Amino acid sequence: MSPKAAPNPETVQDTSKPPQKERRAFRRRPFRARVRIQTDTLGMGPLLEVTGLNISEGGIAFAVSKEVRIGKPIVIEIVRPSIGKQAKWEAEVKWVKTVSEKQFHAGCMWRRRLNFTDIQTFL
């Protein structure tokens, strides 16, 4: 008879808590497009290049080198040069997470909820 090995605590799942149910209204989707933000809603400020993380009908998340303020209205420009599509939408910054000294992740909610057809060309 071989002795039974003790279970590895890293692979044992905690079954005392039920798995968390997705509570988001819209599924987040990764996308490939050029994304720029303008923190001046009058269109007078420079466009800041950011890296899009995910997008949905409700909002967008991106990585940026400059911290943006929560509650700040911004304009987001998304361009897909390979197919010649471009769109600009207004959004509001809802959360910001510091990743490093010069790297931040931010999440925004669209001012006007988008349809799936609005974003599908950028997926």
Q: Where are the domains of the chain?
A: 34-122
Nearest residue to 116 (alpha-carbon basis) of 49, 40, 46, 56: 56
1 pLDDT above the threshold of 80: no
pTM of the model: 0.78
> Looking at residue 39, what DSSP letter applies?
S
- Give the residue, 56 or 7, on which the prediction is more confident: 56
Does residue 112 have a pLDDT over 60? yes
More confident residue, 88 or 13: 88
Q: Indicate the burial class of 21 (C-beta count within 10 angstroms; 0-12, 13-18, 19 or more).
A: exposed
Rounded distance between C-alpha atoms, residue 123 and residue 120, angstroms: 5
* Mean local confidence (pLDDT), 16-31: 77
Neighbours of 48 (CB within 10 A): 16
Homologous superfamily, domain 34-122: predicted glycosyltransferase like domains (2.40.10.220)
